[in-house]
Amino acid sequence: MDSPRPRSLLGNVSEKVNTVCEAGLFLTLTLMTLVTILQIVCRMWFRALTWSEEVTCFFLVFASFLGASVAFKRGANIAVTFLLNVLPKPLKKAALISIELLGIVFFSVTAWYGAMLCYQERMQMASSMPVSMGWFYLVFPLTGAVTILHLASHVEDLLRRSECV
């Protein structure tokens, strides 16, 4: 049995960032649940909260994007692999690297345009709160950058393997 290969610096950074994202995902889902419960309680027995629906929607978006980055790190995203399974091992490795590189391109575009959106919408306020929409749109460049980190770590791992996948 082969001994486990030590993780690279990129792999270590990816792991640590993923740990932070998982904690952020847990916190976001917890806060979304608590705000929703508070909204129900206030609506039933007190006055409805004007901001709770919007905050819940923002938490849902945050959780979706954080969850996507965690899924990319774990390799838990949906994949159609029937074509990969019939490829010879050297071509399979090349195909996997190509898929990861395409993901890096996609999330680079997402991060870039997300950053532009943050800048363009920095003066726009949320409809029910005095908070800049730039803060809410920050999820796009941040999770884009995190996903790029995870995908780059996957590419490095595939390149470091001496055997084919």
What is the SS3 assignment for 118-159? Answer: HHHCCCCECCCCCCEHHHHHCHHHHHHHHHHHHHHHHHHHHH
| DSSP characters over 15-55 | HHHHHHHHHHHHHHHHHHHHHHHHHHHHHHHSPPPSSHHHH
Does residue 1 surpass a pLDDT of 50? no
Give the predicted TM-score (pTM) of the model.
Answer: 0.85
Q: Residue 31: pLDDT band by 50, 70, 90 thresholds? A: very high
Tell me which of 3-17, 93-107, 126-140 is least confident: 3-17
**91 contacts 17 by C-beta, under 8 angstroms:** no
Q: Could you say which DSSP state residue 3 is in?
A: P
Does residue 3 surpass a pLDDT of 60? no
Tell me which of 12-16, 33-37, 92-96, 159-163 is least confident: 159-163
pLDDT at 162: 67
Mean pLDDT on 123-140: 89
In the chain, the DSSP E strands lie at none
* Per-residue pLDDT tens over the stretch 64-122: 999 999 998 988 877 778 888 888 888 888 989 999 999 999 999 999 999 999 999 98
Cα Rg of the chain (Å, integer):
20
Ordered by start, the domain boundaries in the chain are 9-160
Mean pLDDT on 123-128: 88
Mean residue pLDDT across the chain: 89
pLDDT at 119: 92
pLDDT at 87: 86
Does residue 10 surpass a pLDDT of 50? yes
**120 contacts 128 by C-beta, under 8 angstroms:** no
Mean pLDDT on 57-65: 93
